[in-house]
Structure 1
Amino acid sequence: MDLSRSGKESGDIAIPVREIRSSKSGKGAPPPASTTIRLGGQVPPAAGWKRGVGIIDLILRICAIATTLAAAAVMGTTSQNLQFFTQFFQFQASYDDFPTFTFFLAGNAITCVYLVLSLPFSIVCIVRPHVIGARMLLLIFDTLALALTMASASAAAAIVYLAHNGNPKTNWPALCQQFNKFCPRVSGAVVGSFLAVLILVVLVVLSATALRRN
């Protein structure tokens, strides 16, 4: 019976082989040596787990690209004109009237560009799950992108809150009572940015966990 052929057909099988020595070889003979023949090419469980983490990482990066791109695009195309009495006398609200919204647009755009550039490194982590350098770079820059996106989203959220509710103590009027199209768009952009923040938090945790398993 050909054991090597049957082992190859069944997958990765470890067959212990003991070397049998004759009892006549003497008392000083070394103990029987044992070797292990490993057949097949199955992926180790640790590598399979890291490859699964890499696939999840790639999917989440694509989702984060979509959310940051949508947030930046919505904010960058938001403006509304209010006409009073005649078309020559009107009020305009645009994102670039608020430096905070400009910072929000720049922060989400930078994060989106970084996430696009990080896709090849994420693919490398899938093809070669034991590579530490690529995963370490992703962890560092993901943390920086998380900080930038969180800062821009938080600053924009403060302005959106004032636009919706105002501040009577400082005579800040609630702009959303007049600009009823401007405020929902900027609010949606801020929500999309916070969703990207949540995805980046998950990416940082995944990268840290994968490095800890090395």
Structure 2
Amino acid sequence: MSKSGEATSISIPAEAKSSGSGTRAAPVVSTTKSTRLARTGWKKGMAILDFLLRLITLAAALAAAVSMGTTDQILPFFTQHFQFEAQYDDFPAFLFLVIADAIAAGYLAFSLLFSIFTIIRHNAVGVKLLLLILDTVMVALTATAAGAAAAIVYLAHDGSSSANWVAICEQFDDFCKQTSGAAVAGFVVALLFMLMVVMSALCIRRN
């Protein structure tokens, strides 16, 4: 029993101190490892999703280019010296859509190699930045082509009374249906590119 006014000291064995500190440090190491694993899994998942989106966008770009590039309709009635025919290359906007989506399809096929590389190497920030820049260029190209084609499709359906442009879809109905579908597919391509740009930006920010 200690005297009054004197401090009472309690000695703690060294083993108890070390064991106590070790017990407190273990959860920190475990939490750090789990965080790293979760981050690695997130990066790999986003890279795989990017690869799948590129495949889907490639299919949509090919569908838009082929659908528009094969558009041709000849009316059953004709005169001795004139035949009524509508082709996609009669309209520069439709030709622009074919060229733009063909370029986008070629780029997407090439970018699949880089996408596979990002699946293997999650921290390849340089490759992701390159894809982000090129995807942004493709957004501008495909969105412009789809918008121009949609404007011509609108005129083909409704015409313009102020400019004395007659709607041709009453006669060339198959032509208008196919060009309308190609224009919609062009917008789908542009939207998918926008989605890939957002995903690439998020991945670079998380790195």
TM-score by length of 2: 0.82
Residue 136 of structure 2: aligned partner: 143
1:206 is the counterpart of 2:199:
yes
Mapped to 1, the partners of 2:82 and 2:100 lie a distance apart of 34
TM-score by length of 1: 0.80
Mapped to 2, the partners of 1:197 and 1:87 lie a distance apart of 44
Unaligned runs of 5+ in 1: 1-19, 23-30
Greater helix content: 2
| Residue type of the alignment partner of 1:125 | T
Question: Aligned to 2:123, what secondary structure does the other structure show?
Answer: coil
1:109 is the counterpart of 2:97:
no
For CA contacts below 8 A with separation 6 or more, give which structure has more relative contact order. Answer: 2
Cα offset for 1:87?
A: 7.0
| Residue type of the alignment partner of 2:155 | L
Q: Which structure is larger by alpha-carbon Rg, 1 or 2?
A: 2
Residue 188 of structure 2: aligned partner: 195
Unaligned runs of 5+ in 2: 1-12
RMSD: 2.3
Deviations 1:106-153 (A, max 9, x none): 111001100110001111111111110111011000000011000000
1:67 and 1:196 in contact (8 A); partners too:
yes
1:172 to 165, 190, 195: 165
Mapped to 1, the partners of 2:56 and 2:40 lie a distance apart of 25
Q: How many residues align?
A: 186
1:47 and 1:130 in contact (8 A); partners too:
no
Greater than 3 Å deviation, 4+ residue runs:
31-38, 85-89
Identity of aligned residues (%): 48
Residue 14 of structure 1: aligned partner: none
Cα offset for 1:85?
A: 4.9
Greater strand content: 1
Residue 70 of structure 2: aligned partner: 77
Deviations 1:43-79 (A, max 9, x none): 6211110110001100000000000000000111101
